[in-house]
Amino acid sequence: MSDPTQTAPAVPNPLLDFSSLPAYASITAAHVEPALRAQLAVCRAGLEALLAQPAPSIATLVEPFEQLQQQLSRVFAPVSHLNAVVNNEALRAAYNACVPLLAEYSTEIGQNEELHQRYQQLRNATPGLTPTQQQLLEHALRDFRLAGVGLPAAAKDRFKAVMQELAQLQAKFDEQVLDATHHWSRAVTDATELAGLPAQLVARAAALAASDGPAQGWRLPLDGPTYTAVLTHAHHEPLRREFYEAWNTRASDRGPQAGQYDNSARMEDILRLRHEAAQLLGFANYAELSVATKMADSVDEVLVFLTDLADRYRTAATKELAELTAFAGRPLQAWDIAWYAERLKQERYAVSEEALRPYFPLPRVMEGLFTVLQRLYGLQLVQREVPLWHADASYHEVTTGAGEVVGGLYMDLYARSGKRGGAWMGECIGRQYLQGTLTRPVAHLVCNFAPPGSDQPALLTHADVTTLFHEFGHALHHLLTRVDYPSLAGINGVAWDAVELPSQIMEQWCWREEALPLLSAHVDTGEPLPAELLERLLRSRQFQAGLAGARQLEFALFDFRLHAQYNPALGGRVLEQLAAARATAAVVPAPAWNRFPHAFSHIFAGGYAAGYYSYKWAEVLAADAFGAFEEAGVFDPATAQRFRDEVLACGGSREAMAAFTAFRGRKPDPTALLRQQGLLA
């Protein structure tokens, strides 16, 4: 990306050019707000003209309005993406200036009574609607209700103000986490403190220290790969503790940056405003509002689902922690768990993530992934030269075996400063086929793997491979849609607790003996993963499944109860709710200064508020759905085609339960997941 502080040249704004892919190499921060304001003006004027028609129809109102909304998405999707992957002060300021503008417009559309009435008329009086058109109108009418279209004027104004303030608070929450993460690192001058750490990570730490100046030694940054490696492999317990504390007190009132980026008050404000918005719309709390668009039917259904699974996982986790403590020969602290677990895993299965790394060089993993996609869905990915935002990024054209272009995929896979942590798939361009014009879908796929060394490609852990497959599952959901309307295409319009089904089912191939040889080859010798090592890896799948599941249920219960049990008189009670969730699900004691919620961007800045349970919900769906592949063969083309047709292609054009049952022939059963994780009696 070019210098974001420079003044935008007097040429057409690249963000307003929809003729091709985003001109990432040309976009500057100075382009952002002018482009958004210009497109918002186009959308408002366009909607006014559409509503002036005497007798609107699907073709003359809904389709052109979908196109206007898609154009707005095409302006802001690249901006949101750049803010996440090459964050800097100028871009951040431009992004933050746009957040309230978008929130204002979104609420304005949702509360437009005339547009709402036209959609109602079309739903009630249009003969011959297709099922997709019916779903589109139903979703739109639901969204009008949830935007407050039926509220009195004063309540409408208040709802609009709440949504604008929430958008700004959530963006600031994420910024604080990003800054806290990138403004802490650990200088090391004694090499003995690095014992156990992967050689590639140590080399990178030396390079980072050298880039800071003439000082000798190493600098360990607080990014995801380094944090995980330190907690899992560093023999030096004080180093593990320092990293655990720095990571788990980010953006809080405790830890090495205490108060510097504190999200405490921001969390309270976010929870208060969400609760107020829900009550303005007639819901008891924000969890009830959240469930209104989910696959789950009620707040109680979600709570029963979570507490039932928590009982199952906690029983297993208690036994696993006891085994680990006996193995360590001493009581364990939170920063000891991963280190001793890795040692026990090596002893029990003679397999470790670091020992597997040389067998998963990224080029080989990508080659194997592409082979899996070709066998399942007949897809090919071909790298193309297009404007990019960073040298790490790449672009791939996705085609069928017959050469038909399906869409495109950007990838940006390595951790670096200025890039948000985690892994995600985001929409760049959504599919639409309206007014005789086809727009093919394009996705962003982002990970934060440890970068390559000076003389080696990036080497992935098996967990990294699983993460890559997970995000590719989301990308397939976006790319393989056959829905013509952008608001229902890909992941759009899909119930949030079902949106993880395509991603979690893709993870299953990372645990199959039919697929793993395609993904692995030793970085030095090219030899495949030895059969004995492969067998040990597969046997290790159930290792500490109880502890892992209990941790995820702890997060899900915390999130859901936080929103379902919010009391304005008492405030968010964030740490109190965290303690209650841990008492229900967790077995690993956390220190009193742990401030995990302060960096929980999924629920305070992302789309998972009162919805983090979706990961476990969809894990049940994915394990059960994969059973169809196990029955027919994991590369069975007929089963893959059926999954593509019934789930991936239909996006939000049908309800999630209907999509699942159309594929599986029945409703989901959690037995498959419990069996897979060794939790059945």
pLDDT at 7 over 60: no
Backbone φ/ψ region at 435: left (φ over 0), alpha (ψ -120 to 50), beta: left
Give the C-alpha separation, 332 to 547, whole Å. 14
pLDDT at 314 over 80: yes
Over range 431-437, report the average pLDDT.
93
- Six-digit token string for 454: 């000076």
Residues classed as catalytic: 471
**pLDDT tens digits for 356-397?**
999 999 999 999 999 999 999 999 999 999 999 999 999 999
664 contacts 625 by C-beta, under 8 angstroms? yes
CB 566 within 8 A of CB 285: yes
Handedness of CA 476, 480, 486, 492 (dihedral sign): negative
Confidence of residue 455 (pLDDT cuts 50, 70, 90): confident
Instruction: Kindly state the average pLDDT of the residues 397-419.
Output: 95
Q: Tell me: pLDDT of 143 over 60.
A: yes
Inside any domain, residue 26: yes
Summarize the confidence of residues 190-214 as an average pLDDT.
Answer: 93
* Distance between CA atoms of residues 78 and 456, nearest Å: 31
Query: For tokens 């969204």, what's the residue?
Result: 143
pLDDT at residue 3, as a whole number = 45
DSSP at 332: -
Residue 141 contacts residue 123 (beta carbons within 8 Å): yes
Q: What pLDDT is attached to residue 454?
A: 84
Q: How far apart are CA 423 and CA 177, in angstroms?
A: 15
> Does 118 map to a domain?
yes
CA angle 48, 430, 622 (to 5 degrees): 130
Domain-embedded: residue 281:
no
In angstroms, the Cα distances linking 359 to 154, 459, 469, 536, 577 are: 62, 8, 17, 14, 42
Q: What are phi and psi of 637, to 5 degrees?
A: -65, -30
- pLDDT computed for residue 606 by the predictor: 87
Assign 533 a pLDDT band (cuts: 50, 70, 90): very high
167 — pLDDT class (breaks 50, 70, 90): very high
* Distance separating alpha carbons of residues 656 and 513, to the nearest angstrom: 30
**Predicted confidence (pLDDT) at residue 5 exceeds the cutoff of 60:** no
pLDDT tens digits for range 31-47: 999 999 999 999 999 99
**Res. 4: pLDDT tops 50:** no
- The answer to whether position 283 is within a domain reads no
What was the pLDDT predicted at 435? Answer: 86
Q: How far does Cα 269 stand from its chain's mean position?
A: 24
Q: What is the mean pLDDT of the chain?
A: 95
Identify the DSSP state of 115: H
What's the rounded Cα separation, in Å, for the pair 471 and 491?
A: 13
- Show the tokens assigned to 254: 């405790």
Q: Please, which residues bridge with residue 381 across strands?
A: 398
- The residue type at 103: A
Percent of the residues in the chain that have a pLDDT greater than 70, as a whole number:
98
Whether the pLDDT of residue 2 is over 50: the answer is no
For residue 236, name the pLDDT band (cuts at 50, 70, 90): very high
Query: Which one-letter amino acid corresponds to residue 602?
Result: H
* Cα 460 from Cα 450, distance rounded (Å): 8
DSSP letters, 602-660, are HHHTSS-TTTTTHHHHHHHHHHHHHHHHHHH-TT-HHHHHHHIIIIITTTTSS-HHHHH
Token output for 327: 């193995």
| 53 belongs to a structural domain | yes
Compute the distance between CA of residue 478 and CA of residue 263 in angstroms, rounded to an integer: 33
Of the candidates 414, 676, 360, the residue with the CA atom closest to the CA atom of residue 352: 360
**Which position has the higher pLDDT, 248 or 211?**
248
Query: Is residue 658, in this structure, part of any structural domain at all?
Result: no
> Mapping DSSP to helix (H, G, I), strand (E, B) and coil, where does residue 46 land?
helix
Instruction: Dump the DSSP string for 118-179.
Output: HHHHHHHH-TT--HHHHHHHHHHHHHHHHTTTTS-HHHHHHHHHHHHHHHHHHHHHHHHHHH
317-359: pLDDT as tens digits: 999 999 999 999 999 999 999 999 999 999 999 998 888 999 9
β 432-434/424-429 pair status: unpaired
Asked if residue 10 has pLDDT above 70, the reply is no
Q: Residue 128 pLDDT > 70, yes or no?
A: yes
Is 106 within the bounds of a domain? yes
Q: In this structure, what CATH number is given to the domain that contains residue 121?
A: 1.20.1050.40
What would the pLDDT profile of 537-594 be if each residue is shown by its tens digit? Answer: 999 999 999 999 999 999 999 999 999 999 999 999 999 999 999 999 999 999 999 9
Helix ranges (H only) for 540-573 are 545-564
Residue 680 confidence (pLDDT): 85
Q: Is residue 103 part of a domain?
A: yes
| Residues present in the chain in total | 681
Residue-range definition of the domain harbouring residue 82: 14-110+112-146
Beta bridge pairs of residue 395 = 384, 410
Give me the number of domains the chain comprises.
1
pTM score: 0.93
Q: What is the pLDDT of residue 216?
A: 81
- The H helix count followed by the E strand count for the chain is 26, 9
